[in-house]
Copies of this chain bind each other. A is one copy, B any other.
Amino acid sequence: MPTPTPMPTPDDPALDEPHTTVDALVQLSFLIQGELARIAADHDLSLIQVRLLGILRDRRPGMLELARHLDLDKSSMTGLVTRAEKRGLVRRERSPHDGRGILVTLTPAGTTLVNTCAQQVQARIAILATPLTTREGDQLRLLATKLLTAHGEGLLP
């Protein structure tokens, strides 16, 4: 993968075309994350709060597991979950199997909110992708998958 020119951290991800694959990936990531942050903000949430709710859609994790998923210290989780709890989005439940542990779960309000966010992510990122034809979207998905799975399996150089 030849990608010579150093040119990181685009102030404005769309001002000039990416000249390398690396530039393209970096600029694209800022574009997507910006849109995700805007969606979160529309619901008066931060991106990290939306990610927290997203995890809870199909899991009932403890604080350590949450911290691992979000790549945060366990002490950071306390505040994150407490703020979500105060907004009525999640609940702490005592773990039945471990007196030390708790399980974090979505409330009905939290479930509704995260589903709304999921819908909007779907819709608004799809809009960003409208310049691509169906075939190009498929290509992009396949390329991204190749990149993501290699990373997930830990088989990078």
Which A residues lie at the B interface, using CB under 8 A? Answer: 1-3, 5-15, 17-18, 20-34, 36, 47, 50-51, 53-55, 59, 69-71, 115, 117-119, 121-122, 125-132, 134, 136-141, 143-152, 156-157
Contact = CB atoms under 8 A, between A and B. Distances in A.
Contacts of A71: 34
Contact of A54 (B11, B126, B150, B156): B11
A12 B71 CA distance: 9
Contact of A18 (B26, B115, B117, B148): B148
Chain A binding surface, main DSSP class = helix
Given A2-B134, A22-B122, A29-B33, 13 more contacts: A6-B121, A6-B122, A9-B50, A11-B51, A11-B69, A14-B148, A25-B32, A25-B140, A28-B29, A28-B148, A29-B36, A130-B157, A140-B143
A25 B2 CA distance: 22
